[in-house]
């Protein structure tokens, strides 16, 4: 470990449970965040959990570790959450003989500390953070959630070390982003803790304006400290629009990213099969993990129109390093995401960066439409009916047949406003302000 105790650079301590080698979608924001700050005048230490946890839940992409800037210090704190403890030999006699009662007691004890099932991680993070601060004084603590136990740890560290802390809402905690309804009652421990944390946080960061507004309405005393820092794409991965590998033939569509049960898969399948009847040669390749856990795989695969005569194939998972090659083999991308004002999926920005034509398979009022405004080569659905989805796919297929590579440079130019670096410049200014 490098001795940075006398470094003149400000020191950012970033708490990010999901960090490489985890393959969770939430990894990319803190990964890029740490890399950006260490390259722009900060010392950065990341507290995350051990590799063994990601291996336990079968959520590993080893290639992501190679993307961590070598100047970023990474400290791994074990997480011993009960739901993930598999070795019954390690159970106490009470837990072994009375498992249901033991679980209830443990849940009560953990919620008394912090209302999040990752609460057992907090003491280890606080201990590690104080050790880091003792060796190399921290200027600001920032936590990204989920899990939201990271927020509790950041607040505790901020208090014990007398340092400002910042909350980064990569996901919403008390808002269900997919149903657009509160996740918990107004008098719940989660809402009370959120109010308490927001009252002390120096900045509260959201990924889109709709999320910021929702929280500002519920926590008006903290509204002036709430800011928006959108997701973006990694410019080193896509320095320019992807170079196509094919100049003719029927259009090849693609979906690239984790396929989850929140996606409108049935609506896509119905629309795709209708479009395939009208443009028989088109095909679709689906790249990505099926769900976040192994037990979701078969259920999700059953919802996809994979089979003889459908033109749809499932190509399996793809590492981050392989993405440019995968995109270069496609003619258009299917932006299949949940319909919600509060969802701005990270893949939106990456898809934009490719320069490829995009078909939006989500409701028009979805938050992801906002960064797409003005981008050429976007084929939008009017709704999620089979006819509307099919019309958008057919329009994109006809565009590709008539002028396969048109609009790619203009589409990429639009995306340049959404590089991760540009988004984090705004955050950098705020962090320097709170450390002044």
Q: Cβ(95)–Cβ(54) under 8 Å?
A: no
Quick one: what percent of the chain has pLDDT higher than 90?
71
Q: Which helix (H) or strand (E) holds 319?
A: none
- Alpha helices for 40-176 (secondary structure H): 51-56, 93-97, 99-113, 122-135, 149-161
Residue 109, judged by CB atoms within 10 A of its CB (0-12, 13-18, 19+), counts as exposed
Q: Cβ(9)–Cβ(43) under 8 Å?
A: yes
Find out whether the peptide bond into 247 is cis, omega within 30 degrees of 0: no
86 — pLDDT class (breaks 50, 70, 90): low
Strands 358-361 and 378-380: parallel
Please state, in angstroms and rounded to a whole number, the distance separating the CA atoms of residues 55 and 77. 15
94 — pLDDT class (breaks 50, 70, 90): very low
Compute the half-sphere exposure of residue 345: CA atoms within 13 Å on the CB side of its CA: 26
Q: Cβ(144)–Cβ(33) under 8 Å?
A: yes
Strands 312-316 and 358-361: unpaired
Q: Which helix (H) or strand (E) holds 315?
A: strand 312-316
107 — pLDDT class (breaks 50, 70, 90): low
List all residues 6 or more positions away from 176 whose beta carbon is below 8 Å from its beta carbon: 182, 183
Mean pLDDT of 186-208: 96
98 pLDDT above the threshold of 60: no
3 — pLDDT class (breaks 50, 70, 90): low
Domains contained in the chain, CATH given: 11-232+419-435 (3.40.50.2000), 252-418 (3.40.50.2000)
Mean pLDDT of 90-103: 49
- Alpha helices for 136-264 (secondary structure H): 149-161, 189-200, 209-218
84 pLDDT above the threshold of 60: no
> Which of these, 166, 161, 170, lies nearest to 232 by C-alpha position?
170
Q: Which helix (H) or strand (E) holds 165?
A: strand 165-169
Q: What pLDDT is stored for residue 235 in this prediction?
A: 86
91 pLDDT above the threshold of 50: no
In whole numbers, what is the pLDDT of the chain averaged over residues?
A: 90
Q: What pLDDT is stored for residue 105 in this prediction?
A: 45
Mean pLDDT of 298-303: 89
Instruction: Compute the radius of gyration of the chain from its Cα atoms.
Output: 23
Name the β-bridge partners of 226: 204
Mean pLDDT of 72-96: 65
284 — pLDDT class (breaks 50, 70, 90): very high
389 — pLDDT class (breaks 50, 70, 90): very high
321 pLDDT above the threshold of 60: yes
Please state, in angstroms and rounded to a whole number, the distance separating the CA atoms of residues 233 and 32. 9
Name the β-bridge partners of 333: 254, 358
95 pLDDT above the threshold of 50: no
118 pLDDT above the threshold of 70: yes
For the entire predicted model, the pTM comes to: 0.88
């Amino acid at each position: 470990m490098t001795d940075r105790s006398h470094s003149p650079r400000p020191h950012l301590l970033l708490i990010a449970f999901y960090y490489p080698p985890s393959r969770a979608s939430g990894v990319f924001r803190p990964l890029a965040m740490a890399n950006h700050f260490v390259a722009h005048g900060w010392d950065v230490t990341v507290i995350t959990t051990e590799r063994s946890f990601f291996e336990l839940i079968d959520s590993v992409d080893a290639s992501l570790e190679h993307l961590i800037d070598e100047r970023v210090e990474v400290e791994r704190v074990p997480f011993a959450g009960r739901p993930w403890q598999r070795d019954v030999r390690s159970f106490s006699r009470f837990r072994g003989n009375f498992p249901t009662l033991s679980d209830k007691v443990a849940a009560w004890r953990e919620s008394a500390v912090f209302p999040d099932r990752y609460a057992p991680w907090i003491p280890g993070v606080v201990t590690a953070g104080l050790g880091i601060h003792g060796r190399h004084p921290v200027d600001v603590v920032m936590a990204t959630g989920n899990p939201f136990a990271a927020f509790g740890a950041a607040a505790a560290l901020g208090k014990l070390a007398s340092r400002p802390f910042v909350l980064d809402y990569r996901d919403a905690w008390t808002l269900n982003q997919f149903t657009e309804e509160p996740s918990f009652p107004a008098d719940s421990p989660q809402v009370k803790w959120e109010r308490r944390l927001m009252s002390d946080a120096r900045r509260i960061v959201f990924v889109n304006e709709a999320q910021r507004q929702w929280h500002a309405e519920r926590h008006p005393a903290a509204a002036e400290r709430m800011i928006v820092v959108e997701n973006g794409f990694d410019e080193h991965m896509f320095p320019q629009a992807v170079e196509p590998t094919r100049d003719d033939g029927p259009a090849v569509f693609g979906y690239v990213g984790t396929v989850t049960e929140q996606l409108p898969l049935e609506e896509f399948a119905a629309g795709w099969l209708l479009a395939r009847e009208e443009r028989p040669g088109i095909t679709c390749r689906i790249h990505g993990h099926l769900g976040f856990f192994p037990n979701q795989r078969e259920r999700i695969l059953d919802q996809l129109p994979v089979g003889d005569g459908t033109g749809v194939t499932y190509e399996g998972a793809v590492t981050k390093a392989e993405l440019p090659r995968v995109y270069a083999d496609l003619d258009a991308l299917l932006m299949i995401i949940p319909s919600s004002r509060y969802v701005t999926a990270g893949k939106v920005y990456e898809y934009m960066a490719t320069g490829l034509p995009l078909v939006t398979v989500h409701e028009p009022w979805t938050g992801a439409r906002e960064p797409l405004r003005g981008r050429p080569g976007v084929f939008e659905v009017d709704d999620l009916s089979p006819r509307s989805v099919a019309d958008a796919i057919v329009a994109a297929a006809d565009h590709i047949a008539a002028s396969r590579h048109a609009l790619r440079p203009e589409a990429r130019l639009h995306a340049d406003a959404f590089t991760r670096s540009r988004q984090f410049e705004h955050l950098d200014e705020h962090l320097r302000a709170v450390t002044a």
